[in-house]
Amino acid sequence: MILGQNQYGKAESRVVRIVRDGATHHIKDLNVSVALSGDMEEVHLSGSNANVLTTDATKNTVFAFAKEHGVDSAEQFGIHLARHFVTSQASIRTARIRVEEYAWERIAVPGPKQHSFVRRDQETRTAQITFDDGGAWQIVSGLKDLVVLNSTDSEFHGYVKDRYTTLPETRDRILATEVNACWRHAWTEETAGARPVDWDRSYAEARRHLLSAFADTYSLSLQQTLYQMGSRVIDQCPGIDEIRLSLPNKHHFLADLAPFGLENDNEVYYAADRPYGLIEATILRDGAEAGIPADLTNL
């Protein structure tokens, strides 16, 4: 028997960091998962824990770092953690940190007290940071569950038809999807000093270009729209080399109103949640090699 690739860690440590600036408070709400790998053969083969940093310790580190380093962004917090685990333990060769960030907005109230928030009804921000003992970094940011819809400017026709095809062609339809995306930064320790990254701004820019491309594209297929969205990010964000998109087609079908003597001129639809088409692709900067991990489970 041969032991293959393996890792261990603590999954989904829910940490909420409050910063109190007088009467005005700020909140960061994260879900952090740590996976460590390295010289771990003996714990599998003989049960020796000599090289094992406990998963409880990794969980405690997450909470301690939230206090000691603060949480500027999901990416920066993950960088602090990944570097710590690899550099502080000789047996750990690679650390992978996955972060989901849940956004809150302030509830506007009169007076000086600003400590009430409401959870935003929007996407979840994600990040995965990987660092190894060779000094190699990989920073992958992303988002999931961002629901978007175009009520027109979408067609679907000219496709292959066989004996089982029943879908009618359309020259005007609703195009709706739930954007799940992750993108890999062209970031290294060396370039960081010369060109520091504002991770929050980088995320906001990538999100903005995804949305603007979705809105701007006259779509003949969801595949075409996906490519335009990814291409816009690569073109407009020079610090990003690769983006992977997973777009489920949230189908909206015209409701049959004829039995009621009513004409349905693209006005009334029923939304079918399943089954659904699932369109996925990766867009790369010309000359860049694919590097987003295949096991990234955000998509």
E strand or H helix at 43, and its extent?
Answer: helix 41-45
Active site residue 251: yes
Residues 10, 80, 185, 209: which is the catalytic one? 10
Cβ neighbourhood burial of 223 (10 Å; 0-12, 13-18, 19+): middle
At 215, list the tokens. 């809105």
φ, ψ (nearest 5 deg) of residue 207 = -60, -45
Catalytic residue of the set 25, 26, 55, 282 = 55
Where b means 16+ CB within 10 Å and e means fewer, 91-123 reads ebbbbbbbbbbbeeeeeeeeeeebeeeeeeeeb
Q: From residue 297, how far is each of 123, 127, 169, 201 by CA, in Å?
A: 16, 11, 34, 24
82: left (phi over 0), alpha (psi -120 to 50) or beta: alpha
Residue 185 bears catalytic tag: no
Tokens representing residue 285 in the block? 């900067």
Q: Is 115 assigned a catalytic role? A: no
CB 104 within 8 A of CB 96: no
Where does 153-198 have alpha helices with state H? 189-194
Cα-Cα-Cα-Cα torsion 61, 66, 68, 70, nearest 10 degrees, comes to 150
Of 59, 84, 185, 251, the active-site residue reads 251
Q: Which residues are catalytic?
A: 10, 55, 251
